[in-house]
Each structure stands twice: as structure tokens, then as C-alpha cells.
Amino acid sequence: MKNFKRFAASALAVFVLSASLAGCAVTKTTSLATVDGETVTADDFYQYFPSVQSSMLSEAGINTSDSDAVANFWKSTEIEGKNALTVAKERALNEAVNAVVQTKTAEKMGITLTEDDKKQISDYKTSTIQQSYGSKSNFINHLKEMNTTETAYDKALTASLISSKLYSEVSKGDEYKIDEKKAEEELKNGEKITAKHILFSTVDSQTGQSYDDAKKAEVKKNAEGTLEKIKSGADFDALMQELSEDPGLAQNPDGYTFGKGEMVAPFEEAAFALKEGEVSGIVESNFGYHIIKRVPLTISQSDIDSKVKEMQNKVFEEQIDKWKADMEVSIDEKALSKIKEN
């Protein structure tokens, strides 16, 4: 919640995605939690739920255009022993609670919104609504479909900017001064790897729908033939340039550098299991069939900068937990459980 614009954009963009998932088993005024006496309602909750769902689907490599795959993910997937939808609800409520925690902390520290801040919120909201919906009435109608309101939306935008200002203030502390060398060492310590892959897509680029079983079988046969060529000594890079259907290949000709939790699970698990120079077998994900080659780790300045920011964010998240521990927070698990899938 340290980036106002990131939240505002995601809050609008993913409503369509979650409309068929969120359900309406509770009313907008239902209390899901309290923070030092302040109520977090279902109305507040739905401002965070869509972006959490979107993030989880992305991490799982689920094509959001594939309604069957999306529905199956929420119904059947377990994460650390919990149903995925339950995890999504818990994460979303935690974000809503943390927004209140940060707002209350900012008040105690004398951090308030200036008139310029308020204008920034208003201008951004107006331009985003115009770009995404075309009119205010369309926006309001869409909020209604999502069981939430403009009031809750405005509250979430305000909380996001307050969070950004709070972060700017507390990040002046020494604990936020992360040494780049320390960040680079963490990246080198098995946390990140670099891998190339040849993707044989099983998703229709026009419709976003997965191929049927017969067409998938054809694609897999092509992947298996390519793997045999590699085993026989064919050049991996040449075949990658010739055959891969990865849309990101042009921007990442030297492969992707990533850590755990950043790629779809089947791809990530297979890549981390390889030694440098090794090539995987056929790996299936929701994107298609992959042949993966792990290559020497490449760390750019951008990777280091991202790691520094990640470490700073972790410090801030730990600080939020400390602030929350000093407040009286109550979660209504029964009410939360009533939020169902449509």
C-alpha cells in the first residue's frame, strides 16, 4: 500500500475479474473486523479482495479469460492446507485492517493530507474512471455489481496515499538504509536463478481460451520432438529463437532472473531443481509446455534495486505488525466465512 497509483489502478482494473467470484452472502455494512473500535465492513473488504484474487491467479499462472480454470482454482486449490478462496479472503481482510492501522498511526504522528494531496486523489480518480469506464454512472453501476460503494473506494484511495506518506516518514530511519552489497549477496545466495525456456503455447492468443485436448496433444508432440533434438546436441538458443512462443522473449533473450513465488509453480519448481547448464523435460503449465534451461545467474542493477526495495518493504510490513499489536484488533471469522463464491 505504499504506492497510491498502483492501488488505484488495480482496484479498478480487476473488478471485472472478481465479479463472478466475490458473491454477496453478506451486506455492505456487515462488520468483518474492528481496529481500536473502528469497524472494517464488507464494503471496505471488497476494495482489496479483487486485487488479492488477481495476484493469486497470476502467481498460479491461471489465465483469467479461462472461466473454468478460474472457478476450479478457487474451488479445488489448497494453499498450506487452506482452500484458496479462504486464503484470498484472509489476505484481503488483512490488507483492509492494515489500512486502518496505518491511518490511525499516521494520525498519532500528525501526518495528514494536504489540499494538494486531496486534489491528487480527485484528479487521479477522475482520469482513471474516464479511461476505464467512460462515465461516472458506469463506474457507480460497476461498484454496485461488486457489492461495494464509491464511499469505500474513496476511503481506500485516501488510506493508500496516507500509507505512502507514512512510509516516506518512517523510512528515514536507519533500519531502512539497506546496503546494496547485502542485497546482492542475498540474491546470489540461491534466492534468485536465471533460466531460459522454449514455450509451446496451449492458449489461443485471440480468445485467451485453452486449447482442447486434441490440440494440446499436438503441441506436446512438437515439444517432445524439440526436446529430443536438444538431447541429440541441437543448440538450445537457436531452437528457442526459432520455436518459442513466449511473448517476452524479445525483451528477455538472456532468460529470466527470478526468485521463488515470482513464476508459475510448475515452471519455478522445475527451474530451481536444475543445475546450471541442465535442461528440463517437458514441463506443463497453464501457459503451455516448457523446455527449461538453467543458465548462470545474471544480476542487474535493476535486480539489486528491486531487492533493496523489497527489503525496505519488509521492514515496513514488520513495523505495521508492531503497530497492529499495540491496537485492539478483532476479526469476525464467522462473518468472513459467509463471503461465498457466486
Mean pLDDT of 323-342: 90
The full DSSP string for 13-55 is: HTHHHHHHHH--SS-TT-EEEEETTEEEEHHHHTTTHHHHHHH
In this structure, CATH architecture of domain 4-170+306-337: Orthogonal Bundle (1.10)
> Measured between alpha carbons, how far is 296 from 254 in angstroms, rounded to an integer?
10
Q: Please give the grid coordinates belonging to residue 199.
A: 514455450
For the cut 70, the answer to whether the pLDDT of residue 13 exceeds it is no
Amino acid (one-letter) located at 285:
S
- pLDDT exceeding 90 applies to what percent of the chain? 72
Whole-number Cα distances in Å, 236 to 200, 232, 294: 14, 11, 11
Domain ranges of the chain: 4-170+306-337, 181-295
- pLDDT band, very low/low/confident/very high, at 188 (cuts 50, 70, 90): confident
Cα–Cα dist 257/195, whole Å: 7
**Least trusted range by pLDDT, from 60-69, 155-164, 286-295:** 60-69
Of 2-11, 116-125, 236-245, least confident by mean pLDDT is 2-11
Of 162-166, 208-212, 336-340, where does the model show the most confidence?
Answer: 162-166
Rounded average pLDDT over 256-277 = 93
In whole angstroms, give the CA distance from residue 220 to residue 284: 9
Band the pLDDT of 24: cuts 50, 70, 90.
low
At 187 the pLDDT is 87
268-297: average pLDDT:
96
pLDDT digits (tens, 9 = 90+) for 26-50: 789 999 999 999 999 999 999 999 9
Least confident of 68-72, 138-142, 152-156: 68-72
Q: CATH second-level architecture of 181-295?
A: Roll (3.10)
* pTM of the predicted model as reported, rounded to 2 decimal places: 0.75
Of 25-29, 40-44, 158-162, 268-272, give the lowest mean pLDDT range: 25-29
Whole-number pLDDT of residue 8: 45
- 19 pLDDT band, cuts 50/70/90, is very low
CA torsion, points 43, 324, 21, 264, in degrees to nearest 10? 150
Average pLDDT of every residue of the chain:
90
Average pLDDT over residues 64-91: 90
Model confidence band, residue 25 (pLDDT cutoffs 50, 70, 90): low
Please say if the pLDDT value at position 325 is more than 50: yes
Task: Report pLDDT for 81.
Answer: 92
Q: How confident is the model at residue 2 (pLDDT cuts 50, 70, 90)?
A: very low
220-230 average pLDDT score? 98
Instruction: Report the percentage of the chain scoring pLDDT > 70.
Output: 92
**pLDDT for the residue 23:** 47
Distance, CA of 161 to CA of 118 (rounded, Å): 9
